Amino acid sequence: MPDFPLWKILLVFFVTALFTYFTLPTFVSPELRARLPESAQDLTLNLGLDLRGGSHLLLEIDFDSYFREQRDQLWDDVRAALRETKLGYRDLAMENGIVRYRLPPHATERGGSVPDLRRQLGSDYAVSEDGDQVTIALTERAIADKRQQLIEQSIEIVSRRVNETGTKEPIIQRQGDARILLQVPGLDDPSRLKKILGTTAKMTFHLVNNEVTPEQIQSGRVPIGTRLLPSDDPREMVGGQPYRFPVFTKVELSGEMLTGANATFESGQPVVAFQFNSLGAKKFAEITQANVGKPFAIVLDNKVITAPRINTPILNGSGIITGSFTVESANNLALLLRAGALPAPLKIVEERSVGPSLGSDSIAAGKKAAFIGLAFVVGFMVLSYGLFGLFATLALCVNIIMLLGALACLQATLTLPGIAGIVLTFGMAVDANVLIYERIREEVRRGRSPATAVNSGFHAAFGTIMDSNLTGLIAAALLFTFGTGAIKGFAVTLSLGIITSMFTAIMVTRLFIALWLHWFRPRSIPI
């Protein structure tokens, strides 16, 4: 019997059984899968967008909109900081995101104004003084840091929103400096996905300025510190246009302090209940205590959802948003508030949909290619090497089980390029067997005994097999490192296929040959 100790036999059976266990949940019925241990139920091979169908969206972050808000905030911050320094100023203006003002001639403490302003505004702003003129603007470093933060935060929030819709295995990747690639396999309603992603969901709370008259609202001329925001309720219309609420610009409370939101019913109508964290609950209590009898506007994406009157102080840190909600719109709003506010709007610059029928065609074509490729490989091996070709075929079956089990264990998403990688491994899996069998043939021609010829063939071919597979792994690693999307999927299946084919060629095939030699003790090798 060739040199094949007991521990190697046990290793082959253990590895094969383990990967068979990993493969089972993918191919059994949902009812049978539910009976498997919990650790195995999630070990399934997911189908990608090109096989299952779904939505492909390319999103672009609207940095301009975000930085416009930052400039408006800077204007308010500068005015507040100047008031705190108690230093007079004149000609306060903003141009291209830069705030400028002049110090009055009588300002004797002009030298101390810039350090005070820097302390008030923080390190994100550059404050410079040239004679009596002071300029304030965001630093280049702060702009770059905020852009990076916007991308990371947007990717995280998009991931939360998409996962809460019940979809599985979304692909969310950064593309370039301002874009996000989103692929959601199996999504039947892409319009809802676009609606959810297209909403910033920035929620703020403002007091309403009761001193503004209807004439001022109609003319659009409101006092400084007040702005007009349209109502989101279609029942509140004036002259065919949404009613505009005169709300104070100051944000009394931010939606970032929300800890939860859910759709519910009140008096038979859909509403959204929300809860604040401890700091938000404290601020909410202080605001409602100090403003009993005044309207309090809840603003979402620059539209007033509702502006209820504060009848009594609210001390428990929770509230209810009422409006003309449907059950679906209430659920969507609650979802957006739970996931968090997008820091900047997202624009859809590219949209592609893959229907289930196209995915089914891809699966059918992939299966056909796999079966034809497998048939040709098996036919070649059996015709060329006879019984030993059959051993290689059995090892190839084990290789397929191990490959699918490894992909399922990683919960990988199988795409059409991934199927191509699997088909390619069919040929690569028997390539090592070809090298081994040809070396065994050479040893047989030299008159070696069957056991000696097999041992020499495996030992002599091992170095060549290792070198060829190592170069394949290097190529696959480069594809994975520098490729994106489908290229990475191909690289993953190719890498796993190379590793499993090495194991089956060196261990599994040798086990079959060793058992055959041990049981039948042939005098010659039919190769």
Q: How big is the CA angle at 291 (ends 285 and 296), to the nearest 5 degrees?
A: 85
* Lookup: tokens for 150: 């916007």
Residue range 63-143 forms a domain whose CATH class is alpha beta
State pLDDT tens for residues 266-321: 888 888 888 887 778 888 888 888 888 888 888 877 888 778 788 888 888 887 87
- For the ranges 120-124, 398-402, 421-425, the lowest mean pLDDT is seen at 120-124
- For the ranges 77-91, 197-211, 386-400, the lowest mean pLDDT is seen at 77-91
Task: Give CA separation, 412 vs 185, 398, 422, 483, in Å.
Answer: 13, 19, 13, 16
Written as one letter, the residue type at 181 is L
Q: What's the pLDDT at 198?
A: 65
Domain residue ranges in the chain: 6-53+356-520, 63-143, 203-320
- The top-scoring range by mean pLDDT among 49-53, 117-121, 152-156 is 152-156
Question: Residue 181: phi, psi to the nearest 5?
Answer: -95, 130
CA dist 198 and 193 (Å) reads 8
DSSP letter string, 178-218: TEEEEEEET-S-HHHHHHHHT----EEEEEB-TT--HHHHH
State pLDDT tens for residues 104-142: 766 544 444 566 666 666 677 777 777 777 788 878 888
Q: What's the pLDDT at 166?
A: 42
State pLDDT tens for residues 464-510: 889 888 998 999 889 888 876 667 778 888 888 899 988 998 899 99
Q: What percent of the chain has pLDDT over 70?
A: 84
Task: Give CA separation, 238 vs 212, 217, 234, 294, in Å.
Answer: 16, 11, 10, 22
Q: What's the pLDDT at 357?
A: 56
Selected from 3.30.70.260, 3.30.1360.200, 3.40.50.80, 3.10.180.10, the CATH number assigned to the domain covering 203-320 reads 3.30.1360.200
* Lookup: tokens for 77: 């911050």
Q: What's the pLDDT at 108?
A: 45
Question: Is there a shared CATH topology between the 63-143 domain and the 203-320 domain?
Answer: no
Q: Which residue has the higher pLDDT, 454 or 113?
A: 454
Q: Which residue has the higher pLDDT, 131 or 59?
A: 59
Written as one letter, the residue type at 20 is T
Strands 90-95 and 98-102: antiparallel
Q: Please determine, looking at this structure, whether the domain spanning 6-53+356-520 carries the CATH number 1.20.1640.10.
A: yes
Q: What's the pLDDT at 246?
A: 92
pTM: 0.53
Q: What's the pLDDT at 111?
A: 47
Given a contact cutoff of 8 angstroms between Cβ atoms, the answer to whether 310 and 26 are in contact is no
Task: Give CA separation, 229 vs 90, 243, 253, 319, 421, in Å.
Answer: 30, 8, 17, 21, 56
Of 72, 59, 126, nearest to 344 (Cα)?
59
